[in-house]
């Protein structure tokens, strides 16, 4: 389980094999680099902006704050994906998020705000 993840898009009417969400306190591009090193293919941004290095205007139009939209990830499964591919993602993503949050000034600020600034 990974805390501080927001599902993007409609909660029930979704494309089969497609997951889109935002991870708070870290950038999607950083997650992509680590996922790529782990052998996991993903995209960041909306489908409309996945090739750009900026947060998605689509995610902004959905009401997501820019700092949250920066942490967007998309995964799409196809007929060639295997259970092993999914397991690789489930194993890698929590470790990647934890590592990147340890380096995140935003996450550090959040933790300090939760502990009364200590």
Category of 25 on φ-ψ map: left (φ > 0), alpha (ψ -120 to 50) or beta:
left
Residue 46: which pLDDT band, with cuts at 50, 70 and 90? very low
Any idea where the domains of the chain sit in the sequence?
A: 5-114
**Lowest mean pLDDT segment, chosen from 8-12, 37-41, 54-58, 69-73:** 54-58
* Model pLDDT for residues 67-104, shown as the tens digit of each residue: 777 889 999 999 999 999 999 999 999 999 999 999 99
Rounded alpha-carbon distances, angstroms, from residue 93 to 6, 43, 70: 15, 13, 17
Place of tokens 């969400």: 21
pTM of the predicted model as reported, rounded to 2 decimal places: 0.83
Q: What pLDDT was estimated at residue 55? A: 61
Q: What pLDDT was estimated at residue 54? A: 56
Please state, rounded to an integer, the average pLDDT across all residues of the chain: 86
Q: What pLDDT was estimated at residue 49? A: 46
Q: From the CB of residue 54, how many other CB atoms can be counted at a distance below 10 Å?
A: 11
Residues with a known catalytic role:
48
Q: From the CB of residue 88, how many other CB atoms can be counted at a distance below 10 Å?
A: 15
CATH number of 5-114: 3.90.1150.10
């Amino acid at each position: 389980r990974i805390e501080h993840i927001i599902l993007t898009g409609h909660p029930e009417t979704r494309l089969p094999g497609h997951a889109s969400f935002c991870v708070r306190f870290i950038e999607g591009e950083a997650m992509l680099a680590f996922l790529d090193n782990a052998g996991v293919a993903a995209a960041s941004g909306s489908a409309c902006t996945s090739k750009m290095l900026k947060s998605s205007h689509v995610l902004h139009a959905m009401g997501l704050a820019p700092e949250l939209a920066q942490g967007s990830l998309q995964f799409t499964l196809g007929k060639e994906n295997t259970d092993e591919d999914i397991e690789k993602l489930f194993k890698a993503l929590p470790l990647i998020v934890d590592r990147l949050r340890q380096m995140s000034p935003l996450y550090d600020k959040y933790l300090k705000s939760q502990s009364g600034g200590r």
